[in-house]
Amino acid sequence: MRTPILNLIKTDHEIFKQWSYGITDVKLHPVISRIELPKNNSKKIVFVLPSFLSKFKIKETVKDTLVLILKNKMMVTMFYCDHPNYLFKKEKEVEFQMIY
């Protein structure tokens, strides 16, 4: 099943991750509205910094960065990470975006 949210489409896996973290679509809108779609149908990694998560009350007490993985217009997954810098070395030919 594919579920749209603004200009993106959520996979079933992403929906499950969103539910497990207790993040509703309404809370996710400030993030999604700032995501620039990947160019050339590539993979994109979006870092949502803790300051943004607190400011928009997406997660009240958070120390970790929320990481969203996109492929083209698909939100594949999301996870929290305390040291996301490893993704810069691990991922090749990927677009990155920071939301702060």
Query: Looking at per-residue confidence, does 61 or 27 come out higher?
Result: 27
Q: pTM for this one? A: 0.90
Mean pLDDT of the chain: 90
Q: Which amino acid is at 91?
A: E
| Structure tokens that stand for 60 in this block | 């009240």
Percent of the chain residues topping a pLDDT of 70 = 99
Burial of 62 (0-12, 13-18, 19+ CB in 10 A): middle
What pLDDT score does 42 carry?
Answer: 86
Name residue 96's beta-bridge partners.
45
Does 71 score more than 80 pLDDT? yes
Query: 39, 33, 40: which is closest to 48 by C-alpha?
Result: 33
* pLDDT at res. 1: 59
Q: Tens of pLDDT along 48-68? A: 999 999 999 988 777 899 999
Closest C-alpha among 22, 23, 40, 38 to residue 75: 38
Percent of the chain scored above 90 by pLDDT?
67
pLDDT of residue 75: 94
Q: What integer pLDDT is reported at residue 41 of this predicted model?
A: 77
